[in-house]
């Protein structure tokens, strides 16, 4: 997920927040989002695609819209990543000591964000903006859950030849873990 999050941020840094969204192919090439489904060959007539791939893509679209509205700075982008990384609410196997460390990291990141807003940006009323950043970070958790469901269903349904824009190492790792 961090690969997608990074790619979205890099596209906005390169093309600006006002441009139409492009998909980052590698570090130098961008593809217009509207032409990506044609290249990915997602079979929209397939029951698996409509049940798993389409809702996943819809969540990504909502994420993109929210991210675009916020126009996150690099400092805020770092905050979003930290919250997404250390807010692992759905992982029961995490020890209490790790949860305590996560709480300290999130608290420290929030303090640093407060200092950034009040000292660098001179923005005393930033609570609404911080809430939007937190919302984006939590959206990532939902996207990851959808992605896991989709990859589980991948073994049952034929989503199309190139239905996933995930790196091969990512799908291979999922196969290895399951």
Count of C-beta atoms within a 10 Å radius of residue 55: 13
Take residue 164 and report the two structure tokens written for it.
Answer: 């996933």
pTM of the model: 0.77
**Which CATH code, of 2.40.50, 1.10.565, 3.10.20, 1.10.10, is assigned to 2-177?**
1.10.565
Percent of the chain with pLDDT over 70: 66
Looking at per-residue pLDDT, the higher value among 68 and 154 belongs to 68
Span 4-34, pLDDT tens digits: 777 778 777 777 777 666 665 666 666 666 6
Take residue 62 and report the two structure tokens written for it.
Answer: 């909502």
- Nearest CA to 90 out of 30, 141, 132 is that of 141
* The pLDDT of residue 78: 93
> How far is C-alpha 34 from the chain's CA centre?
19
Percent of the chain with pLDDT over 90: 28
Rounded distance, CA 142 to CA 56, Å? 9
Q: Which long-range contacts (CB under 8 A, 24 or more apart) does 5-8 make?
A: 5/80, 5/81, 5/84, 5/140, 8/63, 8/64, 8/67
Are 80 and 137 a contacting pair, CB within 8 Å? Answer: yes
Rounded distance, CA 167 to CA 67, Å? 22
* The pLDDT of residue 168: 66
Span 114-165, pLDDT tens digits: 999 999 999 989 999 999 999 999 898 888 888 888 777 776 776 665 556 6
DSSP 56-77: HHHHHHHHHHHHHHHT--HHHH
Please state the domain extents for the chain: 2-177
Q: Which secondary structure element, helix H or strand E, spans residue 22, and what is its range?
A: strand 22-24
Burial 81-92 (b: 16+ CB within 10 A, else e): bbbbebbeeeee
* The pLDDT of residue 75: 95
Is residue 41 predicted with pLDDT exceeding 60?
no
Looking at per-residue pLDDT, the higher value among 174 and 153 belongs to 153
């Amino acid at each position: 997920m961090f690969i997608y999050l990074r790619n979205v941020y890099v596209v906005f840094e390169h093309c600006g927040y006002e441009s139409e969204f492009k998909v980052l192919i590698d570090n130098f090439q961008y593809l217009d989002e509207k032409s990506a489904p044609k290249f990915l060959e997602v079979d929209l007539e397939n029951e698996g695609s409509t049940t798993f791939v389409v809702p996943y893509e819809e969540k990504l679209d909502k994420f993109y819209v929210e991210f675009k509205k916020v126009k996150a700075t690099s400092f805020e982008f770092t905050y979003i990543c930290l919250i997404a990384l250390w807010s692992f609410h759905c992982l029961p196997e995490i020890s209490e000591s790790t949860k305590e460390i996560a709480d300290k990291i999130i608290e420290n990141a929030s303090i640093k964000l407060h200092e950034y807003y009040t000292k660098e940006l001179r923005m005393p009323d930033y609570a609404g903006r911080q809430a939007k950043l937190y919302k984006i970070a939590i959206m990532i958790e939902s996207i990851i859950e959808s992605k896991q469901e989709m990859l589980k269903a991948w073994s049952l349904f034929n989503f199309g030849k190139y239905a996933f824009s995930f790196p091969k190492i990512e799908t291979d790792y999922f196969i290895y873990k399951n």
